[in-house]
Amino acid sequence: MIIGYSHWGFLGPGIHDTPDGGRSHRRVLIDGLRERGHEIVFLQADRDLTEAGHDLSGTYRWNGGLPDVDMLFLEWRWPIPGRNTTRCVSPGHTCDLHRQQQLLDHYTAHGVPTLLWDKDRQLAPDDLLRHVHNVVVCEPALYPSPGAVSLLFPVADTALRCADPLALASAPRELPLLYVGNQYDRDDAFDRYLAPAARHYPHIIAGKWPHTERWPDLNFWGRIPFPGVASLYRRAVATVLLLPDRYAEVGHMTQRLVEAVLAGCLPLAPTTIRGADRFTPPELHITDGDDAADRIGRLMNATPARRAELLDACLQRLDAFRLSRQLDTIERVMADLSAHRVG
């Protein structure tokens, strides 16, 4: 099947000052689809080349026109005032939203099967696209919206198969607490779960946090290059899984869980996350910042064997994110949409 794939991000490491959580899993997904015999044509701008100077044209194909495709796959984009809602000639404008609308008008409106992956929970509950016969909405949540399909952020099967909990747990870790991620809609969770714990231990908070006045005593590093994320996690004993409320309510876990576990950093999950036990074992659940501080202390003093047990429990839970499972989901959606189109 020829899949027209729309994403506003990177396949490689990209550039330093840009948000794109998809870098952790997008290429894994694309390569998995290709290995199953599907042809991928990217329909947004080649930002790897134009912004990062990373030429991947020998491996992947971009098309700025409207080529024939069997299916449209959208990583959903939404209006961002001052960025993609302005005129194309405006300073700072990005054309992702305009291009997405062009794709919807050309493909979806004319019956082409469309998989809409709402990776940031930005598609309105009453959006008419949820009721279009040739559109299936997917969400990276354990408990997706009514009518939507669960499609989680994939982790390569080989990465799970090769992960060695004891080796990861036995490596030296001098940093008690690490948080990697951006501020967006996380202030309340940060205040409740991470800030109190951070005041007890040396820590690093990496990511875009433009408003830190409330926490002058904490160690904010700012954004770090994408390749540096894994090396930071390998230094850390624990992290805290901070989610916006709209994510926590539906068990929508970000890529941070996978990044941490594969690097041997134990993730502490607030009990307010729906389905928390499906992400981490109960020993890594927290009710507030003091609880987080207590558990970090225990993890620092735990034997490598004990930390390995906890990591193994986390790795087992990552099976839900396994690439092969996500590919099966996509192919089921493809088959259903194609059958509907033929019918």
Of 229, 243, 225, 245, whose CA–CA distance to 279 is shortest?
243
Looking at residue 341, its pLDDT comes to 64
Contact at 8 Å (CB) between 51 and 9? no
Check the CA dihedral 146-330-314-300 and report its sign: negative
Band of residue 342 on the pLDDT scale cut at 50, 70, 90: very low
- The pLDDT tens digits for 168-184 are 999 999 999 999 999 98
Of 79, 76, 137, whose CA–CA distance to 333 is shortest?
137
pTM: 0.94
Looking at residue 23, its pLDDT comes to 82
- The pLDDT tens digits for 92-142 are 888 889 999 999 999 999 999 999 999 999 999 999 999 999 999 999 999
Distance of CA 98 to the CA centre of its chain: 23
What percentage of the chain reaches a pLDDT higher than 90? 86
Contact at 8 Å (CB) between 116 and 30? no
Cα separation, 151 vs 166, whole angstroms: 30
Which residue has 């941490």 as its token pair?
260
Across the range 308-313, mean pLDDT stands at 98
Looking at residue 91, its pLDDT comes to 86
Buried b (16+ CB within 10 A) or exposed e, 173-188: bebbbbbbbebeebbe
- The pLDDT tens digits for 17-29 are 676 778 889 999 9
Which residues 6+ apart lie within 8 Å of 290 measured at CB?
Answer: 196, 197
C-alpha distances in Å from residue 262, one per residue of 81, 160, 161, 316: 36, 8, 11, 12
Cα separation, 123 vs 76, whole angstroms: 8
Q: Which fold has domain 2-154+322-342?
A: Rossmann fold (3.40.50)
Looking at residue 82, its pLDDT comes to 82
Looking at residue 273, its pLDDT comes to 98
Cα separation, 206 vs 138, whole angstroms: 29
97 C-beta neighbours (distance < 10 Å), count:
18
Across the range 52-76, mean pLDDT stands at 97
- The pLDDT tens digits for 247-302 are 999 999 999 999 999 999 999 999 999 999 999 999 999 999 999 999 999 999 99
Q: Which fold has domain 157-321?
A: Rossmann fold (3.40.50)
Is beta strand 266-270 parallel, antiparallel or unpaired with respect to 285-286?
Answer: parallel
Q: Which value, in Å, is the radius of gyration of the alpha carbons in the chain?
A: 21
Distance of CA 165 to the CA centre of its chain: 23
Cα separation, 210 vs 19, whole angstroms: 13
Q: What is the mean pLDDT of the chain?
A: 95
- The pLDDT tens digits for 225-237 are 888 899 999 999 9
Whether the predicted pLDDT of 343 surpasses 70: no
Cα separation, 187 vs 181, whole angstroms: 12
Across the range 206-217, mean pLDDT stands at 94
Please give the biggest Cα pair distance in the chain: 62
What HEC string does the chain produce? CEEEEECCCCCCCCCCCCCCHHHHCHHHHHHHHHHCCCEEEECCCCHHHHCCCCCCCCCCCECCCCCCCCEEEEECCCCCCCCCCCCCCCCCCCCHHHHHHHHHHHCHHHCCCEEEECCCCCCCCCCHHHHCCCEEEEECECCCCCCCEECCCCECHHHHHHCCHHHHHHCCCCEEEEEECCCCCCHHHHHHHHHHHHCCCCEEEECCCCCCCCCCCCCEEECCCCCHHHHHHCCEEEEECCCCHHHHCCCECCCHHHHHHHCCCEEEEECCCCCHHHCCCHHHEECCHHHHHHHHHHHHHCCHHHHHHHHHHHHHHHHHHEHHHHHHHHHHHHHHHHHHHHC
Q: Which residue intervals of the chain bear CATH 3.40.50.2000? A: 157-321
Written as six digits, the tokens of 340 are 């509907």
Looking at residue 89, its pLDDT comes to 80
